[in-house]
Structure 1
Amino acid sequence: LEISGRLGCFGWLLVIVSLLFNRICVYFTCLSNDLFFPFPVFCSYIVNEYERAVIFRLGRITDRKPKGPGLFFVLPCTDNFVKVDLRTVSFDIPPQEILTKDSVTVCVDGVVYFRIHCPISSVANVSNAHSSTRLLAQTTLRNVLGTKNLAELLADREGISVSMQESLDEATDPWGIKVERVEIKDVKLPQQLQRAMAAEAEATREARAKIIAAEGEMKASRALKEASLVISEAPSALQLRYLQTLNAIAAEKNSTIIFPLPMDMMQGFMQRK
């Protein structure tokens, strides 16, 4: 929708002339008791910036382009017109029970944003553009989701929305409607299926936890094996580890501490005995 500029000098001149002409016609109509001048030659109307007027003259559309925005004129006896709103509007798709490709029944709702880009087509090609678009959106939602399984429906909402928008836009183009956006709002699953999926997710988490714990034990055993190999190659490392353990025990606030006595210190005493 292109925003037009202000009225020029010619536009304002037409406004003034039309007002004066209408005043004169009304004046002569009031003076004439014998219906000398019963009605004005033409009538003037104004449409807003976001509106257009489709004019019919004797049942036929007069121009290829609608009138507006601003002032336009019609003949009172032969012309009639229909105002069309060009602003973007939205509507909710009511919850639909849909059977997915893998035979799961889900309840899905959504929202559609659209606007009229061709006023003449929206008036001449369809009796009620808004109502027809609502009904078509419901059937399109069923058709698109019927080709998807449950996993795709839960994981790829954006792709499904784009597919619906393209399909709905193509179908409503002859009606002069541009579908700008389609959104999937909510996907409701049966209670039994929700419990089954929750149990499956919990079992998967437990399995992952067991795998992580097993991997941790395996890494710990490998580290102990490497440490034992290092200690066997350097006996002094075992003594250092022994002293570190004693230091850690001494730091604790225990009333009784038992120190293990190394066997090599008892060998001399046992030999003397």
Structure 2
Amino acid sequence: MIASNALTGSDWTDREIDLIVADYFDMLSLELAGRPFVKAQRNAQLHDLTGRSRGSIEFKHQNISAVLYRLGMRWIAGYKPMANFQRALVDGVERHIARDPAVFENPVSAASSPDLQEPQPLFFEAPPVAAFEAVPTVLERIVRKFDPALRDARNRQLGKDGEERVFFAEQSGLRVAGRDDLARKVRWVSVEDGDGAGYDIRSFDPAGRERLIEVKTTTGHKQTPFLLSENERAFSEERPDAFRLVRLFDFARQPRAFELTPPLDRSVLLKAAIWRAEF
């Protein structure tokens, strides 16, 4: 056992960082699976291995949470993200994800996904306040390498499941409002007609006005970035009266949502994400 004050004020070594990052992801997997663990015991074990103080270990856990926040990942409850992005710690998180990409690509078992065969209420809340914060320089590489928006866009099943959830919720909401006639007219356009319309679902409000809904789904948190096609962006400008962007988040655990209305650049910072090359 190393004395508790032996390393006070010294930089963490790569070995120590790999130990605490691995321990963090192990605790995270237990939490996501609903399995109990005692943080104090884990902290004590890390202390025995590294000689770092309890406070130093907890602060590093919060630093790891801050990196995961930027990657659109869930973090351990109680370890609120603390933005102190040290290059060595960011590199440690990158090494861990590179060794086990599943923790980034699919952090929650598919078995925990909602049962989408039965209509369920969908709880909407206010969208996040637009801060338009730039990614810290020290995080630019890891965010490019593990882009949460690209991760979610590649997961076609996730996208389809999110659209299905909104489709059922729109029908259910209209029935509750006494508009069974409109509920029967709700169409899952992206499935029935294919992609390309600029929206996924054609629905209505109780007064009969069109709601042309583009659905964006993530297993990440509320502020996780997403990809928007040029066709979707252009359609939002063509039909600002009807276009609605529904963002589903925390989808694999407790799906929640918020809604954005045009002009979208009032709510999100739009950046070009792809270049078209022609001859």
TM-score range (shorter-chain normalised) is under 0.3
Task: Give the TM-score normalised by the residue count of structure 1.
Answer: 0.21
Which structure features the higher share of helix residues? 1
**Larger CA Rg, structure 1 vs 2:** 1
The higher relative CO (CA closer than 8 Å, separation ≥ 6) is in 2
Which structure features the higher share of strand residues? 1
